[in-house]
Structures are given as structure tokens and as C-alpha cells.
Amino acid sequence: MKRRNVLVAMAAAPLGAMLPLTSFAQKPIVLGFAQVGAESEWRTANTESIKSSAKEAGIDLKFSDAQQKQENQIKAIRSYIAQKVDVIAFSPVVETGWETVLVEAKNAKIPVVLTDRAISSKDETLYVTFIGSDFTEEGRKAGRWLVEKEKGNAGPINIVELQGTVGSAPAIDRKKGFEEIIKADPKFKIIRSQTGDFTRAKGKEVMEAFLKAEGKKINVLYAHNDDMAIGAIQAIEEAGMKPGKDIIIISVDGVKGAFEAMMAGKLNVSVECSPLLGPQLMSVVKDIKAGKSVPKRIVTQESIFPMEVAAKEFPNRKY
């Protein structure tokens, strides 16, 4: 275009068109998230919370599902480093084995946020903050509910336990918190304890084995999540026993499936573990990019839902 025309064209253009675009349209923050998998209702709700919150926050989310395999999560974190994302966040499937890849992220000057589950590394400089529940307290809440429930019963009270994924923070800490409370009274005995890997299918399979081995000796099931408890309920019914009556069932998460089981009288209590971590994660990611300081630990506030309140609480449930 001739010089005159260019000048005329610029004069007519709206002011914004004359400044470099970057001064108006801030480049979106790029967040790489390495999710555990899709093993439970809790995880599905957690993924939904992260994706919808990223969209709402205008954050460009790169998301991966590791099918509960640590090597897949490590691969995803390495790909985010290679893509030079602004922030990396992940829910460590197990507590150990993260130092090498997190040192790579640190050397690449990419801040890391832990959500949902913790790591057991001594080097706290490998991550900015950990946003998630206090799993030990969740285990204590389960134990306290049982102690209260059985206070008039001389015992013995035989408990079978479906543990979460071996080596994961929730499995380790929910066991620890529960045992801390019940060890005060010798009438409580954990007679069988095995992992159901947080899934319904495995929870059912292991409960079938418990029933075959111990049958009517079982008084209580403590499941580290609702999905395993729901699988176990099927096994208990197929064995001709009444879940929630012949066997008292305590679980954790507070997902919709647990409320349905409680309203049907088949589950006695679910300790809440909120998966709705998306909003907190996005606000922390923005704070980190803005250079603000962020607390090392952000604990999600949670409750406990016995079957007696399930019907009233159910309409309020968001996951």
C-alpha cells in the first residue's frame, strides 16, 4: 500500500489495532496436569473439577491420564518439561520415586504443585505447595465413628480392611489414622487387610476372598474408598448376607454412589474426601505466575456423613 494509504488506514483503525497484540491479549498460562487415572467416582469428579476450573480461569490445560501407573505420570511430566509449560501439577499415584523427574522440572525452572496426594521426598524445594486432604484425619474420623457405634458392645469386633493403592498416601494414612483410634480398645481386631486398589471390581474380588476365609466372623468392613465398599456390598449380598446390618460398612470419599448405598441401608457411613480441588489449584497457579507467595500446605476442609443424614444431604452433593 502507498505510504499515504497506510497512514489513512492506520488513522481509521481502532486504537487497539495499532498496538502490538501482546499488550492486550495476555498469553494464557499453560498448565500441564498429570492425573492418576480414572479408577473411581472420586477421580472422575476430580478430573472434571480440574478441567472445568482451568476453562473458567482461562488457563490452557494440558491433561494426561496415567492409568494408575507411575511410569506414565513421569513420562507426562517429562513431556510438559519439554513443552516448557508454565506450571506442572500432578496427583502422585504413590509417595515415592519422584525425585529424579522433579529435579528435572526444577532445573527447567518449572514450578510444581502437588494436588490430592503427597510425596514422601525430604526435599521440599521440589514442589511449591500440596493441596489436598488430611488422610490421617479421615482415618481417625472413621475410627471414632466405629468406637462410638460399638460403645455398648463388649466384642470381639472383627474388622476386615480394603486398603487403597499400595504405597499411596491415602492408603498409608487412612490405615494409620484408623488404627490410631481403634487400638485404644482390644475388642477391635483387624483380622484381614488387603488392597483393592481403589476400584469397585477389585474391592468385590477381595471381599469375596475375605468372606470365603472368615464368613460370618466378619462384623465390620473398613474400605479406604467408596468404590471398593460398593464392590464389597455386591460380594456381601451374593454371599447371602445383609450389608449395613450383618456387616457394618465404613468408607471414605462421600461420592454419589455412597449416598445411594446409604439411602438403601447398605452402607453405614462415608467420610468426606473432596475431589473438588480445581478452583484452589487454578488460583494457586495464577498466584505462582504472579510471583505471589503460596502456603506450603493447603488442607481441604471435610465432613463425615452417617447413613441417617444421607437423604437430607444428597441434594447438596456436587460430586
Q: By the criterion CB under 6 A, which residues form the site for ligand GZL?
A: 39-40, 42-43, 116-117, 132-133, 170, 198, 225, 227, 252-253, 273
- Distance, CA of 36 to CA of 141 (rounded, Å): 25
Q: Which is nearer to ligand GZL, 192 or 202 (CB)?
A: 202
User: Residue number with the shortest CB distance to ligand GZL?
Assistant: 42
- Distance, CA of 161 to CA of 191 (rounded, Å): 8
Q: Closest distance between ligand GZL and the C-beta of residue 213, in Å?
A: 25
Q: Closest distance between ligand GZL and the C-beta of residue 227, in Å?
A: 6
CB 32 within 8 A of CB 85: yes
Q: Which is nearer to ligand GZL, 39 or 150 (CB)?
A: 39
Q: Closest distance between ligand GZL and the C-beta of residue 42, in Å?
A: 3
Residue 251 cell numbers, joined: 468408607
- Distance, CA of 257 to CA of 255 (rounded, Å): 5
Specify the length of the chain in residues.
Answer: 319
Q: Which is nearer to ligand GZL, 43 or 175 (CB)?
A: 43
Q: Which is nearer to ligand GZL, 193 or 214 (CB)?
A: 193
Q: Closest distance between ligand GZL and the C-beta of residue 186, in Å?
A: 29
Q: Which is nearer to ligand GZL, 110 or 164 (CB)?
A: 164
Q: Closest distance between ligand GZL and the C-beta of residue 241, in Å?
A: 24
Q: Closest distance between ligand GZL and the C-beta of residue 197, in Å?
A: 9
Q: What is the DSSP letter of 300?
A: P
Residue 314: burial class (beta carbons within 10 Å; 0-12, 13-18, 19+) = middle
Sheet holding 297-299, edge to edge: 60-65, 30-35, 87-90, 112-115, 129-132, 297-299
Q: Which is nearer to ligand GZL, 39 or 161 (CB)?
A: 39
Q: What is the DSSP letter of 315?
A: G
Q: How do 157-163 and 188-195 pair as beta strands?
A: parallel
